[in-house]
Amino acid sequence: IGEIMANNLFVIDDDVELTDLLQEFLSSHNYHVSTFNSPLQAIDILLKKSHPLCDLVILDNMMPELDGFQVLRKIRELSNVPVIMLSAKGRVADRVVGLELGADDYLAKPFEPQELLARIQSVLRRTTSSNEMIDIIYSKCIRELDLFGYGFENLDPNKAILRKEKGFFDPKNLRYDLQ
């Protein structure tokens, strides 16, 4: 029986007490949690990929170095990692801005840890199933295209280019019927 891998979560909040509590709580629910009290440090690690894969970011909105909206913009420049924003700013306008900038969910402080856990599970369920479907479609496309004599230029699924004698083929533009 295969071993279930724990999801890697980043918690970015300048409140040390809160990040410690979240790390303890989420770790007890089988998540691997990395906490950052400096948004600049978190961005550096997240975007340079010098840390194990991050499956979800929990991001505070009100921090001294950069606010959460600025951090979210930087994350979205290079990554589609799911983000749940936490903030004492619970006004509708703040939540809408966060969601429009690319947050997957927004939770106002104070919050119950069980609600955060449910939101994490919901976001991961949606994003994991979407990513798995993309991987399935991608591998089916590659297998079929290989039968037509295409050669691989680059095997990175996000940047794969298949070469034929004339021109290039980008598999992300391929429509594929799963039947």
Question: For residue range 42-92, what is the model confidence (pLDDT) as tens digits?
Answer: 988 887 764 557 899 999 999 988 999 999 999 998 888 999 999 887 788
- pLDDT per residue over 108-135, tens digit each? 999 999 999 999 999 998 876 555 555 5
Do residues 13 and 86 make contact, with C-beta atoms less than 8 angstroms apart? Answer: yes
Q: Please provide residue 73's backbone torsions phi and psi, each rounded to the nearest 5 degrees.
A: -60, -45
Do residues 116 and 109 make contact, with C-beta atoms less than 8 angstroms apart? Answer: no
pTM here is 0.70
Kindly tell me the burial class for residue 127, based on how many C-beta atoms sit within 10 Å of its own C-beta (0-12, 13-18, 19 or more): middle
Q: Would you place residue 156 in the very low, low, confident or very high pLDDT band (cuts 50, 70, 90)?
A: very low
Stretch among 60-69, 132-141, 153-162 having the lowest mean pLDDT: 153-162
Q: Would you place residue 158 in the very low, low, confident or very high pLDDT band (cuts 50, 70, 90)?
A: very low
Residue 168 has pLDDT above 70, yes or no: no
pLDDT at position 165 is 39
44-71 residues labelled b (16+ CB within 10 A) or e (exposed): eebeeeeeeebbbbbbbbebeebbbbeb
pLDDT at position 141 is 61
Helices and strands per DSSP (H, E), number in the chain:
5, 8
Q: What is the mean pLDDT of residues 20-48?
A: 92
Q: Give whichever of 18-22, 61-65, 154-158 has the largest mean pLDDT.
A: 18-22
Q: Which residue bears the tokens 């919050």?
A: 111
What percentage of the chain has pLDDT greater than the value 70? Answer: 66
